[in-house]
Amino acid sequence: MNVKIEEDQANELRSLFDEITEEKHGREKEVFSEERRNEKREIDILELPPRKEVHISRGRARLKISRPFIRFILVVIVLLAIIFGAYYYWGDEVFQLMS
């Protein structure tokens, strides 16, 4: 029975020791990751590109419309205007003649 108690105590001590070493190892990882973050934050000002180069690439996104497409849209608008004008002027007479 004495041997069994000693084994239980040894297992408890091992588990406590493992927990302590894991905490230390975790803290070391945290310190290392903080150091890496600090390294990334430090920027050498002399190595930055000129402001002009940075802002040239920030042009507006533009929708390019070709001239034939604009011409097509204008023709459709004019035709719709003519159709609505004719309907307003002659009204239902045109539809009665077709029927």
For residues 50 and 91, membership in a common domain is answered with no
Return d(Cα 40, Cα 64) in angstroms, integer.
Answer: 40
Return d(Cα 30, Cα 48) in angstroms, integer.
Answer: 30
Q: What is the count of structural domains for the chain? A: 2
pLDDT score recorded for residue 18 = 81
pLDDT score recorded for residue 49 = 80
The contacts found for 14-22 with CB under 8 angstroms, 24 or more apart, are none
Return d(Cα 33, Cα 28) in angstroms, integer.
Answer: 9
For residues 53 and 72, membership in a common domain is answered with no
For residues 71 and 97, membership in a common domain is answered with yes
pLDDT tens-digit profile, the chain (99 residues): 565 665 667 778 788 778 777 776 666 666 666 666 666 666 677 778 888 877 777 667 778 889 999 999 999 999 999 999 988 888 877 777 776
Q: Which residue range forms the structural domain that includes residue 34?
A: 1-59
For residues 81 and 54, membership in a common domain is answered with no
For residues 69 and 36, membership in a common domain is answered with no
